Amino acid sequence: MAANRDRSRARGWTLQVLYAADLRDAARPSEVLQDFLLRRRIAEGSRAYLKRLVETVEAHREELDARIAAALTNWRLDRLSAIDRNVLRIGAAELLHPGDVPPRVAIQEAIRLAERYGTAESPRFVNGVLDALYREGLAAEGSAPETSA
């Protein structure tokens, strides 16, 4: 239970790091993370997952953005709010570069971030995009999709 709480907090911290990196245009998320870790007191359990998520998003950003963009209907990635764009990156990172987080949990956690930090429309939007990514992955594997998160 504590591990889940640590990961949930780490996702919130990750969103803050990615958001700050977006605002600093040329700043790499890992650079922002270093500054962030110096200025914030973050529990070790959250810190490890925060680093992992930031590193995953940074290392695979082009792929994540391309996959997210392909799942968007009538939207361009650069036209999304920085919050929604980065919530989608976090969710996509957990879906497409899985560790030990089940896909449905990754989607649900992204929806929670959208509820907390996004607009009233953000949770539904994030759910739709990440569900499309999840279903695309299942189709590529030849599996039958589960019910939407």
**Per-residue pLDDT tens over the stretch 21-50:** 998 876 799 999 999 999 998 888 889 999
Q: Supply the CATH number for residue 130's domain.
A: 1.10.940.10
Q: Determine contact, residues 114/87, Cβ cutoff 8 Å.
A: yes
Q: Is residue 148 part of a domain?
A: no
Any domain includes 146: no
35-44, 56-65, 68-77, 138-147: the lowest-pLDDT one: 138-147
**Do residues 89 and 113 make contact, with C-beta atoms less than 8 angstroms apart?**
no
Does the residue 107 lie in any domain?
yes
List pLDDT tens digits, range 87-130.
Answer: 999 999 999 987 788 999 999 999 999 999 999 999 999 999 99
pTM to 2 decimal places: 0.89
Are the C-beta atoms of residues 53 and 10 closer than 8 Å to each other? yes
Would residue 147 count as lying in a domain?
no
Torsion of CA 58, 61, 63, 67, to 10 degrees: 130
Q: Does 68 reside within a domain?
A: yes
Cβ neighbours around 58 below 10 Å, total: 20
CA distance 124 to 121: 6
What one-character DSSP code corresponds to residue 144?
P
Gap between the Cα atoms of 22 and 94, Å rounded = 20
Domain that holds residue 13: 2-141
Q: How far, in Å, CA of 134 to CA of 13, rounded?
A: 24
- The span from the CA of 68 to the CA of 116, in Å, is 21
Residue 133 in domain: yes
In the chain, the number of structural domains is: 1
Note whether residue 9 is domain-resident. yes
Residue 149 lies in a domain: no
